[in-house]
Amino acid sequence: METRHRPGHGPEVPVIRVEAEGYDDKKTDRKRHTDRFHWDIWLFLALDNWIFDFGRPIAALFVPLEWSPLNKPSIGDYFHMAYNVITPFCLLKLLDRCPRKPSSTLVYLSIITFVMGASIHLVGDSVDHRLVHLGYQLHLSVRDNPIMQRLQPPQLIDSFELLYSYDEEIGHLMWYIPFFISLVLYFVGCFKSKHDATRTRSGVTWWLLMLVSAVYYWYLVTEGQIFSVYALTCAAMCMTVIVQRSRGNVLDINGRFLLYTFATTMALTAAWVAFLWSDPVLRAKYPGLIYVPEPWSYYTLHVKK
């Protein structure tokens, strides 16, 4: 505290000076928090995706049946259960670190729908992989599969088509749409003013993690048959970048990681489609304008003899 004398106004008046150092420190800490790459979450999410999602059907197919009989949950089912818990946890932690917090209502609805869709898929996928052990061919439709054509009464095929719909359509959409919405909500909050931006360097490990994540998302898009959802997500991200740049904002390192991952995934998907463009069997299974074959269909058709 110091005193200040005002001429002609009597005695000296005490003046209290408040330092703003604490506030500046908080702003600096916030900036540092924004520019820090979330290694723990991105790496944990990548491991979760590769082990418990990509590794799930591999474990279900190649683990001996004696370890998981057809009337019991397989190791792939337990992988799926772990995925259904770990992935929404990672998404919540990621959204919690978003520099600009998204609407909590949207976050809750997205995560709840994600868990419900992934759980629906768990049941359908579990039955589908047991059918593979009995001779079900993934590159054929339900009605064209030989084991389905031998069912009695024939109306049972309708039930398996319903199961397939829950697995490959309803479950996937309720699983992946909220998943991508959650990532977009995070992405929208990753922009900062160009004047306040401090360019964080991206090392070799950063690029390797980005590539590993992109390969997984390629698998997600192709095997999940969600190219339309993915393309809309990419379009939303690109539009967000254009709008934010017009306002003088740029992406932080986490936003760039997500953008580069999705761009690489798009390139990998285009290469995959070009590679199988002239395959007549897969063309018959995936008719229509959007032709994106599933990797496991390719496996049962060309690799597994």
Read off the pLDDT of each residue in 41-68 and give the average, rounded to a whole number: 87
- Distance, in Å, from the CA atom of 233 to the CA atom of 286, rounded to the nearest integer, reads 22
List the single range of 10-19, 55-64, 221-230 with lowest mean pLDDT. Answer: 10-19
**Domain regions of the chain by residue span:** 2-195+238-303
Q: How confident is the model at residue 18 (pLDDT cuts 50, 70, 90)?
A: very low
| Contact between 216 and 50 (Cβ < 8 Å) | yes
End-to-end CA distance of the chain: 86
70 Cβ contact partners less than 8 Å away, ≥ 6 residues apart: 130, 133
Question: pTM to 2 decimals?
Answer: 0.80
Q: What pLDDT sits at residue 34?
A: 47
Ramachandran sector of residue 108 (left: φ over 0; alpha: ψ -120 to 50; beta: rest): alpha
- Distance, in Å, from the CA atom of 47 to the CA atom of 200, rounded to the nearest integer, reads 24
For 142-199, write each residue's pLDDT tens digit. 888 888 888 888 888 888 888 888 888 888 899 999 999 999 999 999 998 887 656 6
- Tokens 């709008």, residue located: 243
Buried b (16+ CB within 10 A) or exposed e, 211-226: ebbbbbbbbbbbbbbb
For 209-265, write each residue's pLDDT tens digit. 999 999 999 999 998 889 999 999 999 999 999 999 999 999 999 999 999 999 999
Strand partners, 191: 251
For 95-153, write each residue's pLDDT tens digit. 999 988 999 999 999 999 999 999 999 988 888 878 877 788 777 788 888 888 888 88
- Tokens 């069997």, residue located: 281
Return phi, psi of residue 250, to 5°. -130, 165
Kindly tell me if the per-residue pLDDT of 93 is higher than 90: yes
Kindly state the tokens that stand for 97.
């670190």
Kindly tell me if the per-residue pLDDT of 26 is higher than 50: no
Q: How confident is the model at residue 25 (pLDDT cuts 50, 70, 90)?
A: very low
